[in-house]
Chains A and B, each alone.
Chain A
Amino acid sequence: MKVMLIDDSKTMRNIQRSVLKQIGIEQVEEACDGQDALSKVGAFGPDLILVDWNMPNMDGLTFIKTFRKQNKTTPLIMVTTEAEKSRVIEAIKAGVNNYVVKPFTPDLLSQRINETMSKCAA
C-alpha cells in the first residue's frame, strides 16, 4: 500500500512514517504543504493520504477541496490540532474520510488508518 504524508513538520512526518512502518507500510511519499502534495500526488498515486490542516503555501483544507474537485476518491485522514466540532464538520464536508486530533498515540493513528481502509474497501 502507498501512503502520502502531508505535514509541514518533518518530526511529525517521521512519527507518522514510523507508525506506518509498524503496520507494514513502507511505500511512503512526503510533502511539506498542499501545493507540494498536489505536484507529487499524480505521479505517486497513493492509496491513502494523511494531511495536516495548518500549513504554509496551501493549507490542508484547500488541498482536500482541490484534490476532490479532480474527482479523486483516495481516502483522506486529517491529522490536526483543530479539535473543534465545527472544524471537524468543515473537513468532513470538504471530503476527508477520517479525523485524528493531535496529540495522538501510535495506537490511535494505526487504528484510524485500519478503520478508514476497511470502510473504503467495503
Chain B
Amino acid sequence: MADESAHSSRLIVSVDKAGLSCTLTILPGREEEIPSDLELRAVLEEQRIAAAAIDADAIDDLIAAARENPDEEHSACVARGTPPRDGEHAGFTLRPELADRFEEIEHRRRALLEQGEPAPGDAEQVGEGAVDFREMSAFVIVHEGEEIGMVSDPSDGSDGTDVRGETIPAKKGHSLQIRTDHTTRVRSGWLVAAVSGKLLVSVDRVAVEPTLTIDEDVDYSTGNIDFPGDVVVRGSIKDQFRVCASGDVRVDSLVEAATIDCDGDLTLSRGMAGRDAGELRVGRTLRAGYLDGVRGLIEGACIVTNEIKQCRLRVGRAVESPACVFYGGELLADHRIELGIVGSEGGVETSVGIGAGDEIDDLAVRIEGLIDTIKAKRDRAGAELDALNKMARKLNAMQAERLTELQFEQIRADELTARLGEAAVELLSLFTRCPQPTLSVRRTLHAGARVRLRHVGFTVRDTIQGPVTFNLDRTGSVRCFFGNAREPSPIKHLVRFEDTGKSDPVDLLRSCALHLGLDTGDPAPMDTGDDTPPAQAA
C-alpha cells in the first residue's frame, strides 16, 4: 500500500510501500493554478523527500504536461530511492571432471537398462557410443586431497536508500546449505576429500565413503572395482570381473573366475570357484571357505576351512588349515604348511613345497657363482700384472696404462667380493632366523603326493595316516614324526626321495662366507630341536 497524502486541492504525493518511488499527481484545474517548480519542491520537502532522490527532469516534464492540458490529471515519478543489493548465498560447484563422471555413470546406467547385460565375451567389443560396462566403474572415486568442487563464501550485499534518505538494509547471503562431514574439508575455496573413497553428492550433502559397500554382485551393474580403501561385496563376484583395493576385501557370496587384488586381508566367506581362471593377490592374510581352480600369491598367511582343489598358490608365510583337504595343484609356503588331507585316493597330481622360496635359493646360487667369476677375473688380472712387472724395468705408455687398469681391476674385484660375502652372510642369517620348513598333515597324506622341504624332495610311496609331521634337521635331512612322538620314525620305506637339482642354500651360503674368511656367526638353525616333538612345536 502506498503512503498517499494531498497537499493542496490539486496535488497528491504518494510514496510506494518499499519507499523507493515517489509519485506526484496534479489534478485537473485552471492553468494559472498549476504550481511552479519551487512550489512542487517545497511540497516534496514537506513530505521529507530527500533532495538527492528528486528527479528534476521529471518535475519539469510534469509541469509542462500540466500546463499543456490543465483539464487533465497528470502523474509522474519524481523521486527514486536506491534498492538494496542482497548478499549472494554460499555456493558449491562440483568440479567439471567429476560432474562429467556422474553424467557418464548415469549414461551407463540408462544404457544398461536399455541394452541389457552384454553376452559373455561381448564386453570388449565397444563400438562408437557404446558403453564398456566391464571397464567403466559405476562409482566416482576420489583420493585424499583431491578437489571435489568450489565453495564460494556468502556476501553481505550493499544497503539501499529510500526516497526519504533512510537506509534500507541488504539481506546477507546464507552460509553453505549442503551438509559435509569429517570426510571433506574446505581448503582455499575448494571442498577437498579428507579421505579416499566413493564420492557421494546429493542436493544437500557431499561426503566420501572410505569403505565401498556393494549390496549386490560385482557384475555389469558395477563394472570392475578399483578402490583406494576397503571393499565389502555382499553378493558375489561374477566371471571375468576384477576387484582391486588398497585395503581389505570381504566377499559374502561366491567368487567366480574373477580377479581379486588387495593390499590388505582378503576374506571369502564362501569361497572361490575359479575354474582355472581365478586369480588372487593378497597383501596380508587370506581366509576362505574353499578355493577351486585358483592361482594366487598370498603374502601373509593362508587359512582355508574346507578345501583347496586344483590351485596353484604361493604363500609368503604359513598355510594354517588343519581341517582342509588339498588335492590337485601346487601349494608353496615359506614357513609351514598344516593341512588335514593332502592328495587323493585317485592319485591326482598334488605337490606341496616349503622353504624360503625359490627366489632366495636362486639368490644363494647366484652369489656363489658371482664370487667364483670375480675371483677368476681377479686371478687373471693378478697374473697379467705379475707378467708386466717382470717384463720390463721401464714400461712403455700402453703398458703403463694397462698396469693402472689391472691394479684397479684387482681393487674393484676385492670390493665386489667383499660385498657379495656380506650379502651371503646376511642371507644366511635370514635363512637361519626363519623357522625350519615343516609340513603337518592331520589326517591323511595320500600316496603319490609330492613334498619338497627346501632343497629335499620326495614322493609318498603308500598312503600315510596322520597326524604326521615332516621337517629338516640341522644337517638338512628329512625327519618324520607321528603323533606326538619325540623320536623321529624311519622314513625310507615311506617315501621315495627325488633329485630336485638343488643344493642346500644354507650350506652354499655358509661355504661362500667361510671361503672368503667371513664370520658366519655359526648360527644354529631355529628348528624344532631333536628333543621336541614337531607336532608340539608346530
Contacts and interface: CB of A to CB of B under 8 A. Distances in A.
B400 A103 contact: yes
B401 interface: yes
Interface residues of B, number: 12
B416 to A, nearest CB: 12
Contacts of B407: 103, 105
Interface in B366-422: 395-397, 400-401, 403-405, 407-408, 411-412
A12 B404 CA distance: 8
Contact of B401 (A18, A82, A103, A105): A103
Contacts, number: 34
Interface residues of A, number: 14
B397 A104 contact: no
A54 interface: yes
B408 A18 contact: yes
Contacts of B400: 81, 101-103
A81 B401 CA distance: 7
Contacts of B403: 102-103
B404 A15 contact: yes
Contacts of A56: none
B410 to A, nearest CB: 11
A11 B411 contact: no
Contacts of A45: none
Contacts of B397: 54, 81-82, 102
Contacts of A54: 397
Contacts of B396: 81
A106 B410 CA distance: 12
Nearest to A102: B400
A61 to B, nearest CB: 15
Interface string A9-46: 10110010010000000000000000000000000000
B411 A106 contact: yes
B408 A102 contact: no
A15 B404 CA distance: 9
A106 B404 CA distance: 9
Contact of A9 (B401, B408, B411, B412): B401
Given A81-B400, A106-B408, 15 more contacts: A9-B401, A11-B405, A12-B401, A12-B405, A15-B408, A18-B408, A18-B412, A101-B400, A102-B397, A102-B400, A102-B401, A102-B403, A103-B403, A104-B404, A105-B407
- Closest 9 A/B residue pairs (Cβ): A103-B403, A81-B397, A103-B404, A102-B400, A81-B400, A15-B408, A103-B400, A102-B404, A11-B405
29 contacts: A9-B401, A11-B401, A11-B405, A12-B401, A12-B404, A12-B405, A15-B404, A15-B405, A18-B408, A18-B412, A81-B395, A81-B397, A81-B400, A81-B401, A82-B397, A101-B400, A102-B397, A102-B401, A102-B404, A103-B395, A103-B400, A103-B401, A103-B403, A103-B404, A103-B407, A104-B404, A105-B407, A106-B408, A106-B411
